[in-house]
Structure formats: structure tokens, C-alpha cells
Amino acid sequence: MKFIVATIFLCFSIVSHYAQNCGPRYLDSVFTTVNMQTVVFGQNYDYQGNLITLEADIYYPAGDTASHRAAIIYMHGGGFVQGIRNTPKIIRLCRKLAKKGYVVASIDYRLGVADNSNEEMGRAQVRAQQDLNAFIRYAKANAATAKIDTNHIFLSGGSAGGASILVKAFMDISELPAYVDTTGLGDLEGTSNLLHNSSDVFAVYALWGAVFDTLWIQSGDIPVGCVQSIYDPCIPWNSGLSCNVSGYTIYGANAIYQRAKNIGIPTTIHGYISSQHDLGLDSIPFQDSTIMFMSSFFYDLMCSEALSQSDLESDFQVLSLYPNPSTGYIKVEWPYAQNENVQLSIFTLSGQKVYASLLPISSMAVEINTHMLRPGIYILSFLSNTGRMYYARLNKMEAN
């Protein structure tokens, strides 16, 4: 099945030597073996008054000597009434990310509602948020043992989990939808554990998640990435009704992306041409694409320096290329002098040169064959006859 991807990185990332201490870690699979351990991070009462023990499966690369590792916390889907943290597809997702060097945690949260009312669904969402915050505090309290870099904790989640991480990123308790009654629940931090660490995170990447109001997203909020099927029957791509809460408009991936872009928050979006709600997790080829999109977004935020506008104007120029992402041939817009030979070099984000060639420029659109490149993110540099440097960024994808 074909899919379409649109990508915007509001801070175009190019670096001197192309990376900042990360190398290929967090982008490529640099480990072959992954270990997992299950931990208890808290307990709290469910909607029936039963005391629930909350567990998380923590995946980490075997043989890793790094002492400060970025972490991804994942929340499963299921409409806040079902789902588990360790389905085969979630295990695969976590292991794939751990092979890239992340510490990855797939967590429990309390499920269930007393009835199908919006009020009960809202209370379930608050409980999920409290349990997420409890695990973030747990991860920070145990960072030395788990070798987690507390400055680089990311969130991801699918469907209900995606909605939960977006609430975490952007919503204050004063912005709760009108139907949510928090009587007896407490605030969003909750008491699923009593650790005193903060629950702040670095960025989020939502899988078919949504928000109730894009005005939750304000200038200065954390970066957000989104992926979703464009014809998702449960969560609207733009805005509309959801399959879980009746009578309230919600806003999906494209609305979130547009809001973030318009107010200057680093953001990215990927749309699959499909009507399957959870395509990017349950279909293996698309799960691999989701993993690549997520890890590339996090890598850019964590490992690359953004050029300032003055850099772009004085030192070198960023070129446009299309299609991007690409599976083969690309065209580079060259609005400068023609009839010259330009030295093309292609680098991985770790700074390794993987291709070099003399490129004759004879028109304003130069075609380049990229079939020799493995899927991944590359920096293309162009050295003109005048000694001026130009750059472009390529997201190379595997051909279907």
C-alpha cells in the first residue's frame, strides 16, 4: 500500500560535522541485543475502587556503556478501557527503538469506566494522565540506575496513549473539557506514587492522537510530532468527532501540526493514505516507517544544532529538493549560476561521507540518483566553483 509523508522541521538541522556527540546512535540500529526488565512504579485505585499495581517493561540495549541515555516512554491504546503494554507489536516497537540506543518503557495505566458516558471517559483520561506522570517521576528518581538522561525523556503513544501524551504536553488542568469531573481524583500529577521528581519531558511524538482544543498549544511549549492515517475512522485527520467521546469536536494530527507550525514550535507530521486507525503500529512495514519518523524527529531535536537565519544568510545557503522523502531520484533547485561543475558530497548525520561526485549544473533543477543510499537521513553538501557551500537535507526511504 502506498503512503504519503509530509515533513516539516521548523529548525532545519545542519551541523558542523553534522552531529553533536550522538553519532549514529538514536538514528541507526547500533545494538543487536536488547534486554528487558519489568518494574513496579506505583499503585492507585481504579474506577471500581480496586487497588491496581502499575508496572512497566523497560527495554535497553545490551552491552551499552553509556551512562546518560535518552528515554522514550510509550503508552498503549485501547480507548482507555482496554489494551496492554506488552502486545507483540508493542514489544517489537520497543525493541527496535532500544536497538537504536534508547531506554524504552512501555507502561501500564488504569483502565475502565463505570458507564459509557463522556463524564466517565473523562475520568479515565485523568487517571491515565496521573499514571503517566507517576512513571515519569519514577524514571527520573531511578535515572542513575537506569542510566537515563533526564534532560532527554520523550513520550510516545498510540490512540488513547497518543491523546494522553498530548494532554501531558499541552493541557493545564484548567483547560479540561467541560464534561470532565475530577471530584475525588485530585490533580493531573496524581498520587500513583509519592516521588517528588518533576514530570517534565523534552518532546512528544503522537501516534493517531488528538486534542480537544488546539489553543492548548502555546508558544514555548515542547516540540510535537504526529503520525496518522489520513482517513482514520476513529480520530479525524483535521477535526471532527471521535469514536470514543460523543458530541465534542476533537483535533487530529494535521490540526495539531498546523497550530504548532504557526506559532513556531518544532513539529513534524506524517500521513499514511489509509483508513486503518492503527496502521503505523499493527502493519509491520508501516511500523518500521513510524519508528524511522519518530527516531529521526527525536534525533534532530537532541543531536543537531539549528542554523540561525544569519548563518543561512552569511555562511551558506540551504537548498530545496524534491520529492523529499524520496525512494530514488531527487531534483535539487539550483537558482544560482548554471554551466558550472559542483562538488557533491553526501554525509550521514554522524558525519560519515558515503558518496562524492562532480555534478555538472546546466539548469535550475538538477537531478540526482539516490538509489545507492540506505534508508535514513542525509546531508547533501554542494561546493561551487566560487568556493561557496550549499546544503540540503534528504530523508531517504525504502522503495515499496
Cβ neighbours of 2 (radius 10 Å): 7
Give the pLDDT confidence score for residue 5 in this predicted structure.
Answer: 30
Give the pLDDT confidence score for residue 208 in this predicted structure.
Answer: 96
Tell me if 71 is assigned to some domain. yes
* pLDDT confidence tier of residue 2, bands split at 50, 70 and 90: very low
Please compute the mean of the pLDDT values over residues 363-377 and round it to a whole number. 83
In terms of Cα–Cα distance, which of 235, 212, 206 is closest to 75? 206
User: Do 206 and 347 lie in a common domain?
Assistant: no
User: What is the CB-side half-sphere exposure of residue 14 using CA atoms within 13 A?
Assistant: 22
User: Do 183 and 121 lie in a common domain?
Assistant: yes
Q: Cell digits for 1?
A: 500500500
Is the per-residue pLDDT at 226 higher than 80?
Answer: yes
Tell me if 322 is assigned to some domain. yes
Distance of CA 183 to the CA centre of its chain: 33
What's the structural domain count of the chain?
A: 2
Asked if residues 80 and 160 have their Cβ atoms less than 8 Å apart, the reply is yes
Tell me if 119 is assigned to some domain. yes
> Mean pLDDT lowest for which of 28-32, 86-90, 135-139, 345-349?
345-349
User: Do 298 and 351 lie in a common domain?
Assistant: no
User: Do 212 and 251 lie in a common domain?
Assistant: yes
* pLDDT confidence tier of residue 6, bands split at 50, 70 and 90: very low
Give the pLDDT confidence score for residue 350 in this predicted structure.
Answer: 61
Is the per-residue pLDDT at 309 higher than 70?
Answer: no
Please compute the mean of the pLDDT values over residues 296-323 and round it to a whole number. 63
Cβ neighbours of 262 (radius 10 Å): 12
Q: Cell digits for 347?
A: 554525509
* Last-in-domain residue among 260, 276, 303: 303
Give the pLDDT confidence score for residue 250 in this predicted structure.
Answer: 94
* pLDDT tens-digit map of 26-84: 988 999 999 999 999 999 999 999 999 999 999 999 999 999 999 999 999 999 999 99
* pLDDT confidence tier of residue 149, bands split at 50, 70 and 90: very high
pLDDT, greater one: 253 or 359: 253
Q: Which residues lie across from 157 on neighbouring strands?
A: 75, 206
**DSSP designation for 86:** T
In terms of Cα–Cα distance, which of 103, 166, 187 is closest to 140? 103
pLDDT, greater one: 357 or 95: 95
Give the pLDDT confidence score for residue 337 in this predicted structure.
Answer: 59
Report d(CA 386, CA 306) in Å as an integer.
25
Give the pLDDT confidence score for residue 335 in this predicted structure.
Answer: 64
pLDDT, greater one: 388 or 259: 259
How far CA 201 is from CA of 97, 136, 156, 222, 297, in Å, comes to 18, 8, 11, 8, 15
Find where cell 503505523 sits.
Answer: 280
User: Do 299 and 323 lie in a common domain?
Assistant: no
pLDDT, greater one: 311 or 318: 318
* pLDDT tens-digit map of 191-210: 999 999 999 999 999 999 99
Buried b (16+ CB within 10 A) or exposed e, 48-78: eeeebebbbbbbbbeebeeeebbbbbbbbbb
Give the pLDDT confidence score for residue 305 in this predicted structure.
Answer: 47
How far CA 107 is from CA of 104, 133, 139, 287, in Å, comes to 10, 11, 11, 19
Amino acid letter, residue 211: V
Tell me if 7 is assigned to some domain. no
Q: Which domain holds residue 225?
A: 34-303
Give the pLDDT confidence score for residue 47 in this predicted structure.
Answer: 96
Give the pLDDT confidence score for residue 21 in this predicted structure.
Answer: 64
Q: Which of 16-30, 230-244, 350-364 has the highest mean pLDDT?
A: 230-244
Tell me if 338 is assigned to some domain. yes
User: Do 363 and 258 lie in a common domain?
Assistant: no
Phi, psi of 48 (to 5 degrees): -95, 0
User: Do 96 and 209 lie in a common domain?
Assistant: yes
Please compute the mean of the pLDDT values over residues 21-29 and round it to a whole number. 83
DSSP code string of 14-63:
--TTS-SS-TTTTTS---S-EEEEEEEEEEEE-TTS-EEEEEEEEEEETT
Find where cell 561521507 sits.
Answer: 353
Report d(CA 154, CA 396) in Å as an integer.
24
* pLDDT confidence tier of residue 153, bands split at 50, 70 and 90: very high
Say which residues have a Cβ less than 8 Å from residue 183's Cβ, sequence separation at least 6.
none
Give the pLDDT confidence score for residue 107 in this predicted structure.
Answer: 98
pLDDT, greater one: 74 or 369: 74
Q: Cell digits for 78?
A: 485501547
Q: Where are the beta strands (DSSP E) in 285-364?
A: 316-318, 321-322, 329-333, 340-348, 353-361
User: Do 261 and 137 lie in a common domain?
Assistant: yes
pLDDT, greater one: 70 or 349: 70
In terms of Cα–Cα distance, which of 33, 101, 38 is closest to 69? 101
Give the pLDDT confidence score for residue 69 in this predicted structure.
Answer: 97
CATH number for the domain that contains residue 187: 3.40.50.1820
User: Do 257 and 335 lie in a common domain?
Assistant: no
Give the pLDDT confidence score for residue 310 in this predicted structure.
Answer: 39
Please compute the mean of the pLDDT values over residues 379-390 and round it to a whole number. 76
Average of per-residue pLDDT values in the chain: 86
Q: Work out whether strand 340-348 and strand 353-361 pair parallel, antiparallel, or are unpaired.
A: antiparallel
Is the per-residue pLDDT at 396 higher than 80?
Answer: yes
Tell me if 172 is assigned to some domain. yes
Say which residues have a Cβ less than 8 Å from residue 158's Cβ, sequence separation at least 6.
75, 76, 77, 207, 208, 209, 278, 280, 281
Is the per-residue pLDDT at 315 higher than 60?
Answer: no
Please compute the mean of the pLDDT values over residues 277-288 and round it to a whole number. 93
* pLDDT tens-digit map of 74-128: 999 999 999 999 999 999 999 999 999 999 999 999 999 999 898 999 999 999 9
